[in-house]
């Protein structure tokens, strides 16, 4: 889910030059945000690999007195409806279109079973669902 060169193409740099990795949980999101902001308090945006991690980030920011989205923006990934709509503020997230991804995978698997293999890369469009955790939603 992370292509560091793509960030640079759009004038964005990863703080410290690399992404932070940990378990995909609210607990890790909270700990990761605290660690990141302790080293780099100037951070004004955090993009998370999952909505669960992003919920933990939101919790940590609230505990640290940082206002989302005015001080710092947060973006999740998955568009897990229950998590994103129950977050305060509601979470901006990337919707990976998992239903279409599943349909495409099933179709390609069926074709492969029938002896018709498809070569190349198959992509499914994703979209940014803007909500209250980014300034674009205000």
The domains of the chain, with CATH numbers, are 4-137 (3.40.50.2300)
Mean pLDDT of 33-45: 93
Residue 71 pLDDT: 93
pLDDT digits (tens, 9 = 90+) for 54-112: 999 999 999 999 999 999 999 999 999 888 999 999 999 999 998 999 999 999 999 99
**Confidence band for 117, pLDDT divided at 50, 70 and 90:** confident
Q: Is the pLDDT of residue 3 over 80?
A: no
Distance CA 94, CA 99 (A): 14
Starting at the edge strand found earlier in the chain, the sheet holding 92-95 runs 45-47, 73-77, 92-95, 127-129
Residues contacting 87, CB < 8 A, separation 6+: 54, 55, 58, 133
Q: Which helix (H) or strand (E) segment is 128 a member of?
A: strand 127-129
Spatial distance between the Cα atoms of 68 and 76, rounded to a whole number of angstroms: 13
Q: What pLDDT is attached to residue 19?
A: 82
Report if pTM > 0.85: no
Token pair in block for residue 39: 């080293």
Query: Residue 7: what pLDDT?
Result: 57
**Sequence-ordered alpha helix ranges (H) in the chain:** 4-9, 26-39, 51-63, 81-86, 98-113
* 2 — pLDDT class (breaks 50, 70, 90): very low
Q: What is the pLDDT of residue 27?
A: 96
Report the alpha-carbon distance of residue 46 to residue 29 in Å, rounded: 10
**In this model, does residue 8 exceed pLDDT 70?**
no
């Amino acid at each position: 889910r992370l292509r560091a060169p793509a960030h640079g193409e759009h004038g964005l740099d990863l703080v410290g030059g690399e992404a932070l990795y940990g378990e995909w949980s609210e607990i890790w999101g909270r700990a990761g945000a605290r660690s990141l902001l302790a080293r780099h308090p100037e951070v004004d945006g955090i993009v998370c690999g999952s909505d669960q991690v992003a919920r933990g980030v939101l919790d940590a920011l609230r505990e640290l007195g940082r206002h989302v989205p005015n001080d710092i923006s947060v973006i999740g990934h998955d568009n897990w409806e229950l998590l994103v709509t129950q977050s305060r503020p509601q979470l901006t997230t990337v919707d990976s279109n998992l239903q279409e991804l599943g349909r495409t995978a099933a179709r390609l698997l069926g074709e492969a079973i029938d002896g018709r293999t498809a070569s190349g890369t198959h992509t499914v469009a994703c979209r940014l669902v803007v909500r209250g955790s980014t300034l674009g939603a205000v």
